[in-house]
């Protein structure tokens, strides 16, 4: 029983570190947050932090991973009972809405590519929202809603367009207006993929 309690305490401490780190990174950006601040906010020593994470970058990457999973969950829940086409459109809209929320945008779009590197960032994206996009496109091709073609190129083109739009929206002076306009444009772009009839 004591071992289970220790494991639970370790998990609780790790969750606290991730939660406080995420809040600080979202509010101030990676470069302006110290490990001492994160440890203090979580109520642990800096040594205690190192027991869970090898350093600031490792902690940040864990936060990035958590953010990608959160966006993927929002995509998944956008229209779970709808037809495959509606799920694709709603999922793409959910991706833009979620990833451009200021705190997530700061972590995922502004800091992550330079802090953990583009390849690591791309890996997180590929394992979550890109995988969802490829699955949706493949299903729509199988049912003839979208013309049959290699999935990877169109998935990368759409993902690239949405990531670029999300990065632009992260710096927008009027996120609400620009997000609405971007979603309208994205919906037209997606509609162009549908086979006639």
For the chain, give the secondary structure using H, E and C: CHHHHHHHHHHHHHHHHHHHHHHHHHHHCHHHCCHHHHHHHHCCCHHHHHHHCCCHHHHHHHHHHHHHHHHHHHHHCCCCCCCHHHHHHHHHHHHHHHHCCHHHHHHHHHHHHHHCCHHHHHHHHHHHHHHHHHHHHHHHHHCCCECCCCHHHHHHHHHHHHHHHHHHHHCCCCHHHHHHHHHHHHHHHHHCCECCC
Q: What is the pTM of this model?
A: 0.89
Domains along the chain with CATH numbers:
1-53 (1.10.10.60), 56-192 (1.10.357.10)
Across the chain, which has 197 residues, the per-10-residue mean pLDDT values are 73 93 97 96 92 95 96 94 95 93 92 94 92 96 96 96 92 93 95 89
Dump pLDDT digits (tens) for 20-45: 999 999 999 999 999 999 999 999 99
Dump pLDDT digits (tens) for 116-140: 999 999 999 999 999 999 999 999 9
């Amino acid at each position: 029983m004591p071992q289970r309690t220790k494991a639970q305490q370790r998990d609780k401490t790790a969750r606290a570190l991730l939660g406080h780190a995420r809040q600080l990174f979202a509010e101030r950006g990676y470069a302006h947050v110290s490990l001492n601040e994160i440890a203090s906010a979580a109520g642990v020593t800096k040594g205690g932090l190192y027991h869970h994470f090898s350093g600031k970058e490792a902690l940040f990457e864990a936060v990035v991973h958590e953010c990608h999973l959160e966006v993927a969950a929002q995509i998944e829940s956008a229209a779970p009972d709808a037809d495959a086409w509606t799920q694709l459109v709603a999922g793409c809209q959910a991706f833009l809405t979620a990833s451009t929320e200021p705190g997530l945008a700061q972590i995922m779009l502004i800091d992550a590519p330079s802090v953990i590197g583009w390849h690591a960032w791309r890996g997180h994206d590929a394992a979550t929202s890109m995988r969802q996009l490829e699955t949706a496109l493949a299903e729509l091709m199988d049912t003839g809603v979208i013309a049959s073609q290699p999935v990877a190129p169109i998935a990368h083109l759409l993902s690239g367009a949405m990531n670029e739009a999300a990065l632009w929206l992260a710096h927008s002076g009027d996120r609400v207006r620009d997000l609405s306009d971007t979603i309208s444009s994205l919906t037209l772009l997606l509609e162009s993929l549908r086979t006639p009839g």
